[in-house]
Structure 1
């Protein structure tokens, strides 16, 4: 039979996203840096939308506890994450140092705090290993060249200077500003400009460079850590518990200029979308951190099982909305900058078992390795037995997977002789 053309009428359904909905979804997924870039693009196209500097107030928020000296020193009972130690010890092994220098380097490595700072005064370390202070200082200078820059620092200013020098020939103004962090903390830009005889924009550029540095370079080896950058949220413990706030200093201020023709309507609509994004982000962040307060207090070993569906149900949001909000966003805490997405973790064990999350078990495995006898390191089977004793049945291959996820070498590679 010959095929003949036919005309037929059919109906079909297609989802059409309006420009407003597309913008809303894009803003929900954007972190502070991405949102800033998007707003800059929109301001370039719409003269009615004006971008200004971040609002005054909680500026340089991620450094406030460092400037005040209010952050308590880490508990010495909590050893540095083994992945940090593995990184440092691996570097030491590759240098083929003479035995005397290798001994000093290992002593310094054992004094590292989770932040990457040296946790003991140098004279005390020299006394403990019965070595002249000058020799210890010489080995320390070599260790301070390890990447990421800033490891083995003894103070905040030294940590920042190491990072500035690692970038090449540092700007003298930048080094000078680093030496006057007390003025940086108060935001006294005019006084700094007078002190160094430079215009205020030069001081602003130096401060911007400082904000891009990492005051805790060792914290990035934590499996929850986010890369160094401006966080989207700030979590701090006060007298009444934990508080969570937006990091508005990471975003430009927005305003609508009157008398700019037809651009005012779209500009106001964008402002409403940004505020809706900020409100949703804050609600989601507060709910996540409210449920994970124990982890904020005691570290990732106290993470409880948590899913996006549970957070969405509590806030009367769709699970996809929560997924978009936590995608790429971070929160600054006294323990470092963490991914919001990293605070979710599946439950291990049955309903009768304690509330153990996979992330908490990984952190506990890391703690077991950090405390082990280096002459007799724990095998994957021994790690599995220790974790299973806490309520969730963990197979040897699961313990091996958790170990590899954190960059911890196998037992035979961790063994130290003599």
Structure 2
């Protein structure tokens, strides 16, 4: 038998992305950290592209530090971050391993009740002790044990103690850092010369410790929020001004880009700068549209989030859904209620113009304020959450509770 060759002609369609388009998409979806890595690689290959890092100067603090510096005033502590959905559950579950005895356990729960969303104690230790009918000397040892709960900095009484606890945990405490933590007013104003004299060291050593302080988290409790991003440099900043909410790029998150006209690769350097500018413009436009829709959440916190889909937003601002998805993939915005993932601000409609993400926050608040002796069942939680017209089944509440790491009612009940 002879073998026969059978030739067939078929027509297929394939889309090949050019290298330039692939690069543009990569830059578009990059968060600040990924974009810095990309720029560093490009600068190494393109002599004309010059990266000028943002060095710390007077008042040059990360956005997440706003509201906690000494000149901010004590009244701002209560609005540092959105209520952490599982902060209370996390703390209460850690107490039995650290505290024994009925009296100390009551002290620990009283201290937990005094936690602010930021993770700081919102009341003076003297007031808590007086309410319990005990001395401060009896309450202080229990507070010291609660300082061991992760993340470091929880149960701090002020910013200096919050940072000191994190420095101790990281094993980086030294006399220079201790001096700086005792003079945070000078740190906030960037008075390196005065700090150097106070610590009897050089300004270079002060700047080394300053960068270390910047890496700490001044709001350790905010990381428990349902829509919070991990500790990181946010891409955007949302602040309320005279004309309403202002959304701006966080320019301190990225190095400044310039072109060296005497070096080779000027055309490539201009192309990189154009890609970054396009990414920044697109990110800012998308973020402004998202936060304009979620203005109520900026005012009061995540419990006021409204339903929003990427498709509806894309149609509103004239972009493709895939572009919106890419640009919000790793982006975060710093708000007075904490640092939020932009992607988490999209949420399905649960009825009565209520977003699923808002119900997560409301569920956490209900559990945090319930009677510990008679915790609410999933049925009771569902009824409370549906009081404003939202549609929520008991099994959905159970699912949300599990996502927030909140134990069921029988495990939340405070035993006598």
Q: Tell me the TM-score normalised to structure 1 length.
A: 0.93
* Residues 1:208 and 2:211 aligned together: yes
Could you say if the C-alpha distance between residues 114 and 187 of structure 1 is closer, same or farther in structure 2, counting changes exceeding 3 Å? same
Give the superposition deviation at 1:187. 2.4
Cα deviation 1:37-69 (Å, max 9, x = unaligned): 111111111111111122878731332322231
Could you say if the C-alpha distance between residues 267 and 130 of structure 1 is closer, same or farther in structure 2, counting changes exceeding 3 Å? same
SS in 2 for 1:97: coil
Q: 2:126 aligns with which of 107, 114, 123?
A: 123
Q: Hey, what does 2:166 align to over in structure 1?
A: 163
Q: Give distance in 2, aligned partners of 1:337 and 1:79.
A: 9
Cα deviation 1:8-56 (Å, max 9, x = unaligned): 6654432222222111111111111111111111111111111112287
Q: CA RMSD in A?
A: 2.2
Q: Give distance in 2, aligned partners of 1:304 and 1:320.
A: 21
SS in 2 for 1:152: coil
* Residues 1:31 and 2:31 aligned together: yes
SS in 2 for 1:267: helix
Q: Give distance in 2, aligned partners of 1:64 and 1:376.
A: 38
Q: Hey, what does 2:314 align to over in structure 1?
A: 312
Aligned length: 412
Q: Hey, what does 1:383 align to over in structure 2?
A: 381
Q: Hey, what does 2:400 align to over in structure 1?
A: 402
Q: Hey, what does 2:78 align to over in structure 1?
A: 74
Q: Hey, what does 2:341 align to over in structure 1?
A: 339
SS in 1 for 2:66: helix
Give the superposition deviation at 1:197. 3.8
Check whether the contact 2:43–2:51 (CA below 8 A) recurs between aligned residues. Answer: yes
Q: Hey, what does 2:332 align to over in structure 1?
A: 330
Runs of 4+ in 1 over 4 A off after TM superposition: 6-11, 55-58, 78-82
Give the superposition deviation at 1:392. 2.5
- 5 Å-filtered alignment, 1:263-302, equals 263-302=265-304
Cα deviation 1:113-139 (Å, max 9, x = unaligned): 111100110111111001111111121
Check whether the contact 1:80–1:112 (CA below 8 A) recurs between aligned residues. Answer: no
Unaligned runs of 5+ in 2: none
Unaligned runs of 5+ in 1: none
Q: Give distance in 2, aligned partners of 1:243 and 1:80.
A: 22
Q: Which deviates more from structure 2 when the two are superposed, residues 371-380 or residues 187-196?
A: 187-196
Cα deviation 1:154-206 (Å, max 9, x = unaligned): 11111111111110142432332222222222223344334434343322222
Check whether the contact 2:303–2:357 (CA below 8 A) recurs between aligned residues. Answer: yes
SS in 2 for 1:237: strand
Give the superposition deviation at 1:318. 0.8
Q: Hey, what does 1:374 align to over in structure 2?
A: 372
Cα deviation 1:290-310 (Å, max 9, x = unaligned): 111111111111000011112
Give the superposition deviation at 1:80. 5.6
Cα deviation 1:140-162 (Å, max 9, x = unaligned): 11111211000011111111111
